[in-house]
Amino acid sequence: MTSIATQIKINEVLEQLGIQEINPGTSTGSQHFSTGDILESYSPVDGQLIAKVTTTTASEYEKVILTATAAFQTFRQIPAPKRGEIVRQFGDKLRQNKEALGKLVSYEMGKSLQEGYGEVQEMIDICDFAVGLSRQLHGLTMHSERPGHRMYEQYHSLGIVGIISAFNFPVAVWAWNTALAWVCGDVCVWKPSEKTPLCGIACQNIIAEVLKENNLPEGISCLINGDYTVGERMTQDSRIPLISATGSTRMGKIVAQTVAARLGKSLLELGGNNAIIVTPDADIKMTIIGAVFGAVGTAGQRCTSTRRLIIHESIYNKVKQALTDAYKQLRIGNPLDENNHIGPIIDQNAVKQYQQALDKIIKEGGKLIVPGGVLSGEGYESGCYVQPVIAEVENHFEIVQCETFAPILYLMKYSGSVESAIALQNGVAQGLSSAIMTNNLREAELFLSVAGSDCGIANVNIGTSGAEIGGAFGGEKETGGGRESGSDAWKVYMRRQTNTINYTTSLPLAQGIKFDLD
């Protein structure tokens, strides 16, 4: 059998993206330097070694921070529309490299090729958004209570933005942060997941070209590689005013406490336990499409993946049968073959967690409607391909209350009004994405009301998975409360300042206070 790496000509992809066989893992713009341990990147698609990366040592980290600090002094003085022009050029470079970068994302992470291309398109879209935003970084003007005074607020660049990203979106989440941070005048230091380091190097190489072509400081975009200890340096570093961290709730709690201890700012995008409510008035065909893609897309490794399906008892069996029939049509295999729906999960540790989750479902009294298992044989040599699972459960099961990063979909019934379904949906610690399938206007409006979904994202007749660039992305409760991408998410990357100007010859005090000096 021809290896998948050969099929996509991975060496040509790496060469186009400026990645050598053994590549340094620390970078400030065009200069690469690193002497740390070797980090090997294996593809979950075929188990093959793609390339090796050197990790960042403590002294190299210090050099990166100093370089970024110096770059900030220059970059913050450049007018925002001019910074937007740099982001526009970066977006154009991404367009030129979309095919190669999309293939690398798919091969190194394991998501389908279409999703790999889609992730790069998200990067392009956020660049377009940020370019427009660069001319709209606005404040407010308020009326002063003192005569002859003008009061307003403005936003200033914050400084270094530290970005810690996860493997499941190895390039898009970085772009969500950097595109906005750059137009705001910030510089960025990025630690990508140690499971997808090559995607990070590829992105850094692309932006390095743009910075060099515009004679800009290399420290505007910096890359560091390594395990959690590298991330710890960032979270503990008071020179980094904002840490944006994407990952598990467990990780996020550590980051939040560490950054808060030094009174820094954190932007957290953490775990999801997302549900779709299916009411008697739902369009079943739409429901199945949304639920299946939400549950098995990216092999269930999205933070917005559909984990729970809360179905009214009157249509429960009908929906269950339709789902079961749909799962029989799913094709699992090489994600670079666009005929397949599902690729592998990220690594053997993820496979172990998947198997443990299945055992726990049975132990707690659940029932596997579509049983799972690890696939083996030709095409599955990496050992990372698993069968999607459908299980009947109760919402209070411990395993249901946790987020399992795998294609496991939980079915549960509700009876009575939609309020009871909303209570089930809200009855978990996480609060990222949610959806309701209904053609009943009252149910839809209730779901979106203050008494409805407690998640950061609430959809009607759309699944839980996926989001548009124009809206702020993020969730509540143990999802962390952070917001990235669209709307006014840019404000977290800046510091707010209130200004008052007295243009008279006297000095009246606020609140009518008298303080006369003879």
Q: Is residue 505 part of a domain?
A: no
SS3 162: strand
Is 282 within the bounds of a domain?
Answer: yes
At 10 the pLDDT is 87
Q: State the average pLDDT over residues 28-44.
A: 77
**Better pLDDT: 442 or 3:** 442
In the predicted structure, residue 240 carries a pLDDT above the cut 90: yes
- Band of residue 29 on the pLDDT scale cut at 50, 70, 90: low
Domain presence at residue 489? yes
In this structure, are 251 and 300 located in the same domain? no
- Pair 280, 253 in one domain: no
Is residue 30 pLDDT above 50, yes or no?
no
User: For residue 466, what pLDDT band results from cuts at 50, 70 and 90?
Assistant: confident
Q: Is 507 inside any structural domain?
A: no
Same domain, 181 and 255: yes
Facing residues of 309 across strands? 276, 411
Residue 381: the pLDDT is 95
Q: Are residues 262 and 285 in the same domain?
A: no
Q: What is the pLDDT of residue 2?
A: 44
CATH number, domain with residue 367: 3.40.309.10
- 291 pLDDT band (50/70/90 cuts)? very high
Q: Is residue 406 part of a domain?
A: yes
Q: What is the pLDDT of residue 241?
A: 98
Average per-residue pLDDT for the chain:
95
Look up the CATH number of the domain holding residue 22: 3.40.605.10
- pLDDT of residue 450 exceeding 80, the answer is yes
Residue 517 lies in a domain: no
With 60 as the cut, is the pLDDT of residue 118 above it? Answer: yes
CA distance 173 to 421: 32
CA–CA separation, 373 vs 387, rounded Å? 5
pLDDT at residue 361, as a whole number: 98
Distance set, CA 81 to CA 92, 131, 185 (Å)? 17, 7, 10
Q: Distance between CA atoms of 225 and 342, rounded to whole angstroms?
A: 29
List residues with catalytic annotation: 269, 303
**How many structural domains compose the chain?**
2
Same-domain check for residues 214 and 305? no
Residues 456 and 487 in one domain: no
Query: Are 303 and 200 found together in one domain?
Result: no
| CB neighbourhood size of 76 (10 A) | 17
Q: How many CB atoms lie within 10 A of CB 160?
A: 24
What's the pLDDT band for 467 if we cut at 50, 70, 90? confident
Residue 21: pLDDT band (50, 70, 90) is low
Does 122 score more than 70 pLDDT?
A: yes
Residue 343 domain boundaries: 274-469
pLDDT in tens, 269-282: 999 999 999 999 99
**Quick one: 196 and 249 in the same domain?**
yes
| % pLDDT > 90, the chain | 92
pLDDT the model gives residue 7: 57
Give the pairing of strands 27-28 and 31-32: antiparallel
Taking residues 106-117, report their average pLDDT: 96
Band (pLDDT 50/70/90 cuts) for residue 509 is confident
Q: First and final CA of the chain: distance in angstroms?
A: 96
pLDDT at 512: 83
Question: Does 509 fall in a domain?
Answer: no
pLDDT reading at 23 higher than 60: no
Q: Give me the percent of the chain exceeding a pLDDT of 70.
A: 96
Phi, psi at 278, each rounded to 5°: -115, 110
The reported pTM is 0.95
The CA-CA-CA angle for residues 250, 253, 256, to 5°, reads: 150
Name the least confident of 17-21, 206-210, 292-296, 497-501. 17-21
38 strand-pairing partners: 54
Query: Does 513 reside within a domain?
Result: no
Report pLDDT digits (tens) over 124-161: 999 999 999 999 999 999 999 999 999 999 999 999 99
Return the DSSP state at 56: P
Residues 390 and 452 grouped into a single domain = yes
Token pair 């893992």 in the structure block, residue:
25
- Specify whether 229 is located in the same domain as 281: no
Report the C-alpha gap between 24 and 422 in whole angstroms: 50
